[in-house]
Structure 1
């Protein structure tokens, strides 16, 4: 019997921060500081929120009916409030730049720099410059930048920084990075006395930057009492777990946490890991499976269950805002097919529940199968397609919103210049016209997302600080960038399991902590120096990434703080990580961790219940096929030869993949056009002799005419210069392909084209009645020559099998009524050495390339084909649905029925791996 894994004195911990009913209480030191009137400043927003909630719960537990909100705020909020107080008191008139305003200043400086030579875009460089300036100001290094530049990049940054400082001074602007130094100056001038509490308590700071320390020293000099409060807990048990790999580590953590919550439902647990953004999807998937299997249901809300991530996602990546940005871009031009499809199926475009089914049908059976020269769809085109759709009567709401949106979009003038605030209102109007963000039926998260979007548009309006007027495209680029840089996280549900990063955990305590990925290759995260700042300057100022020892010491402090933030702490790592084999991180040295075997947790995993299975023999038969022509032609026999189940699924169940439009003409369409050109050409020329006597100029003109005829349907789809250029390219491709093909036809023995693209209706093979189309039949010197055009790879040896891969030509040969059959051949209309006729012939002088493996007598081979194809027809007719791929796994590689068939996916992958390994060895 293993020892109790979560054995710990939780009662002492609860006495520290919990009441008897399980509600969080405020740590004693912080409660006393707030009671004295102190302002509590935290190192991060999460700690501030947690302490405010704890303050309210404590007061409720004390029976209070009302109270003043606590003076608890994160550092950034605190210093911004101090600056706002200076503005209200008239002590300053400078404009504190927000992120977007500062970006605009940097971008303007970079765009005007005549010496700038970079592959980076101005926006990317502006972000890099702002980051370097922020780092420089945090370490009070502005004055030391002059004369320290040693490379082209650092000299360029010095030039930009000088212009940035000059412009800020001239225009009365203040960058956020300089706020601490500005407040320090105000404190020295005695201007902060009315804005600052007499006591400040710092909570959750692993370290302070020089700029932060300088501000605090300035406040101390004015008589403010500043104290750093520690809320550490002496852990009862600190454990170390090593697993085989990272997947096992994650599952072990989930099992251990589930076990704790089953025993102590009110326990608070923190799962801490670095690089949370990259691991979020994997953690979410594993925790859902083990902690909350009910959330595996596709209808379950993603924002529920016993765990939540404190780190949000970029606002632009949320479904609601993605649809908003797509709608705004749609007003200015065409969108890719996939994004239009996503809009149609989303609940954010003219949301009308009764239209959902009709929209899905329109998307699957009309939009995705539309013939387009390029998979981009304009608003006008979609409205026209909907007006001609058989689903029009069911999509009146959508059609009405799209028309309203188009009217609003046409008011946008290409070169019109407006202020950012005016464009923000225009964007609201465009989205309103599309029925976006109406608020109907939205949940709490969607409501919060929409409110965050309003703040993005408000931030866009702040770009009017410099009086610049811009076009709609520039404003749209700006709002897209703001949304991409805005982190969005729904309000915390206070779930028992909080998944956070190492820095976010500062200032918070828990019942238990599980630190994932604590191996030497994962923790601490390597820090790098800034490429725009001179290395000697960064080293002298002790910036991150310049001194490995200082970085390691900082990581040890963070690790020690985490180990002192809960009664029970678990550090885990995988012996084999994505980067290679590893040991535990050196930052855990000296923590006296207790090694724990994985079995202590694994035993918590519920053992599956095995039910006794009963085998039932399926003796039922399929309904008999109707006595009529079966749609599918020779493709039915091809599918039956490959796998009986595939033929059944595709030609009797009509299970097909969802086809999507490709860029321009797809391979099948290009092949069809080649057929049409050759059909038109031989309708006119008819014989090889006529081709020989035709002058080359006349032949080229006729070929061009036939190409134009074949491209007539595509010409009707040409609406833009891009479309016209694409068709011109296709014409040139067809000339280059078919010109040499006609030259090759001149070298063949004499022939007459008997028929071209001839449809044979209601022909019979075995019990099946089919309709097939023969590409071409020539009359040669010794009989008929059946030709099947191929623009792809083809091999006649595919015919010599009881399960032929390409049974079309054998079927045409069987159905032929010719007295004498001279040859059957692929007409390989391909550029290069493969071009030519390849197949079986009764004569070596026929001009047809024949493979080594070929029948001795063509007539006997045709009779053999008759037996083979009749057998395949009987198998399909009689319902032979066995999953029996001809060549596993090759036959299954591109099969779209693998979701229906009974082949084990794991065995398929193993076979593919074995096949790839064999090919690699042979290479």
Structure 2
């Protein structure tokens, strides 16, 4: 047959089975047009549904308005009151009319099926609503046009060509048979398909996993294009829906058809509008603050990151608006050119009404909100982004069409309608150039012509496909009418037909892969004589530019364990600096020199960090009132209980913005209980008074000054001091015996206090419900306090000196910039460290991963 370019001169209409094929044929026409010097009109190539709509409207067959697919979907939602059933009901209605079934006949063979009976009832309601409101569904058009069409309606058309129809529905077939009385109706055979005669190259392979299969397929296809840039190559995947994202990444700029909601620019818009129907979840706020479709300049990105970090510290996954404004005001002096404050205020100044409005009115308000926050930004858009924005604007217009379906609706319903519209709308960017590579689901590839194809996912359990009959139509009737995908027999026949067509391509590579440790078996439709090994030269690596640059250099090893020495004499971070230096020098360097810290993860409930902060604050306030053990013992239980409750409430009020929270109430009760338990333990100690609370000291080591804070210092009856550090989590005093002193906190306090005042001992105070206790070291002169770890008077001074030497060594390492990736205890500190992507310890030490699993 002639090329597509000839169709523009022959008054021929090409009807395709789907929109994707119509777009492909238009691209093929443009490619042919570029090779022709004549100026020609674009041929009429369109999906059959679009042609039926156009034909109905242009010939004025009646006053009935054709419902859009989304209008029809929403009408089924309205009738059934089940949005999750609407798509299946819409499909059942479509099959009912295209396969020319009768509701009364269906009712006779329903066999008591609740689903079928429900559909019959809802279908009658649907039909009656359409009759009263002068509507007609897309599925009814073929039959109605077939009943009304006359020769004059086809004036100017000399032929209809059908493309990509695997099976033609009876309603379409009846219409085409009637049209055949006046003009020819034929199948369009792609000229490239006609040329695929001669020797075929076939091969197959089983891969160890899905990832390897996808990688091999993409490399093979890229090699085909590298060898022949004009070749037309396709990747056909039976599991495209689950592997599409990975495939698209491997093909870089190649776009696949996917739901409009999955495009990031639309996802941002939907997340903004979702704030109308619920509070501000943290994950949405974090997403918006760093979106390139909202940040208008670099200061916006910078302050957005700081606001994100601030909000991550909130004890809630829903962020109060006041916290956002507070965080912006905190950082805006650092980033004076940011625009976030103005835009957030504009957004929240738009108060959407609580009453119901028409969808078109909600659409207008949604646009106003998006404009207020600056969506979609001021960046230069790519061709794909521009097309997505255009399609989004068209969807907002489609939302207006729901005025006649729903009438006035709530803002929640309006948002749900828009969200459903974006998830049901499939979109693929149209590029100016003809793409030599196409990616398909196996059900979409009819009507295309390729020089080479790779078909993936041909596992025995996937091909033929599992039947998916519509649940709202009698199964026996679907099977009798041979409705697509309704029975195993139909699926087998369909799969045989598709397989034969695919194997007719000049070069074919078939593959499957193992899943969940189960060995894969090829579909029985694959020829037995096909060798399961590659016969193509597909082992040539296809590299991107950065990969070629990386591989062009020989590997060098450079051991660099030293950073720049510290030039100041004061170090922030206190004893934690020395703790990290002892555990891993790189940790200390990264945290306190590079300020490389991981971001907090918001959580439901009270975090362990907040548990500790609340406990410290309550104990600080309690001892500011009680002052000594004598006063504690003399207080009657009721008075002590009241003091604890009042103090806990004060701390809760200080720390939380919204105290009406079940988690806060639980934390309040926990604090009261553990405080009473702890104070009862304090009563059993030898006499003491609280000498200092939150005492600040300066510890000088290796010409560095460390500012340290002691939770509490007690003075005993012998006037010696006892140092206490509160702990609500786990701790280990064995680190005091280690040469690198991996638990340096209390030893730091001891070294800072000992030269000037007599020190009796040190201890961690474990503040944990049911497990309250002291754990530490003390001199033997202080009998009965810590019997398990008593140090002689002579050894005590020696121990303090040893600690000073160890701390001095750690301080000197930190001062000189020693930053070796050398975690202590066989990598134990790495388990709670988020810097592994920075230090790359897994690459440095091959055995690291095995030791830490």
Shared fold (TM-score, shorter chain, > 0.5): yes
Matches within 5 A, 1:511-910: 511-564=451-504, 566-574=505-513, 576-577=514-515, 580-589=518-527, 593=530, 596-597=533-534, 600-603=537-540, 611=553, 622-626=564-568, 628-659=569-600, 662-663=603-604, 666-715=607-656, 717-718=657-658, 723=660, 727-760=664-697, 762-780=698-716, 784-817=721-754, 821-832=759-770, 834-842=771-779, 846=784, 848=786, 850=788, 860-901=798-839, 903-905=841-843
- Deviation by residue 1:755-805 (Cα, 9 ceiling, x = unmatched): 222121x22245442111111233446754322111112232333322343
TM-aligned CA distance change 1:421 to 1:751, over 3 Å: same
Q: Distance in 1 between matches of 2:562 and 2:761?
A: 44
- Deviation by residue 1:816-860 (Cα, 9 ceiling, x = unmatched): 33876544322111123x332233345697455848999996555
62, 72, 86: which one aligns with 1:102: 72
Matched, 1:430 2:404: no
371, 374, 383: which one aligns with 2:316: 374
CA apart distance, 1:131: 3.6
CA apart distance, 1:472: 2.7
What SS is found at the alignment partner of 1:470?
coil
The match for 1:82 is 55
**For the Cα contact (< 8 Å) 1:788–1:809, is it kept in 2?**
yes
The match for 1:175 is 137
The match for 2:436 is 496
- Deviation by residue 1:856-905 (Cα, 9 ceiling, x = unmatched): 96555444433333332233233332221113343223323323325244
What SS is found at the alignment partner of 1:888?
helix
CA apart distance, 1:267: 1.7
CA apart distance, 1:641: 1.1
The match for 1:481 is 420
Larger mean Cα displacement after TM superposition, 418-427 or 820-829 = 820-829
Listed as ranges, the gaps of 5+ residues in structure 2 are none
Q: Distance in 2 between matches of 1:105 and 1:853?
A: 83
TM-aligned CA distance change 1:646 to 1:855, over 3 Å: farther
CA apart distance, 1:457: 0.7
CA apart distance, 1:272: 1.7
Q: Distance in 2 between matches of 1:668 and 1:619?
A: 32
The match for 2:347 is 405
What SS is found at the alignment partner of 1:520?
coil
The match for 2:269 is 324
What SS is found at the alignment partner of 1:588?
coil
**For the Cα contact (< 8 Å) 1:837–1:849, is it kept in 2?**
no
The match for 2:228 is 264
Q: Distance in 1 between matches of 2:381 and 2:391?
A: 14
CA apart distance, 1:637: 1.4
TM-aligned CA distance change 1:889 to 1:278, over 3 Å: farther
Larger mean Cα displacement after TM superposition, 799-808 or 601-610 = 601-610
CA apart distance, 1:29: 7.9
CA apart distance, 1:640: 1.1
Q: What's the Cα RMSD here? A: 3.5
TM-aligned CA distance change 1:432 to 1:109, over 3 Å: same
The match for 1:282 is 246
What SS is found at the alignment partner of 1:73?
strand
Q: Distance in 2 between matches of 1:816 and 1:255?
A: 68
* Structure 2 length-normalised TM: 0.88
TM-aligned CA distance change 1:397 to 1:811, over 3 Å: closer
What SS is found at the alignment partner of 1:513?
strand
Q: Distance in 2 between matches of 1:620 and 1:914?
A: 26
Matches within 5 A, 1:349-368: 349=294, 352=296, 355-356=297-298, 358-368=299-309
Q: Distance in 2 between matches of 1:683 and 1:439?
A: 56
**For the Cα contact (< 8 Å) 2:270–2:419, is it kept in 1?**
yes
CA apart distance, 1:420: 1.3
TM-aligned CA distance change 1:496 to 1:539, over 3 Å: closer
Q: Distance in 2 between matches of 1:374 and 1:854?
A: 50
What SS is found at the alignment partner of 2:525?
helix
- Deviation by residue 1:438-478 (Cα, 9 ceiling, x = unmatched): 77632322221111111111110000114611233321221
Q: Distance in 2 between matches of 1:533 and 1:858?
A: 87
TM-aligned CA distance change 1:152 to 1:784, over 3 Å: farther
TM-aligned CA distance change 1:429 to 1:653, over 3 Å: closer
**For the Cα contact (< 8 Å) 1:236–1:568, is it kept in 2?**
no
The match for 2:123 is 161
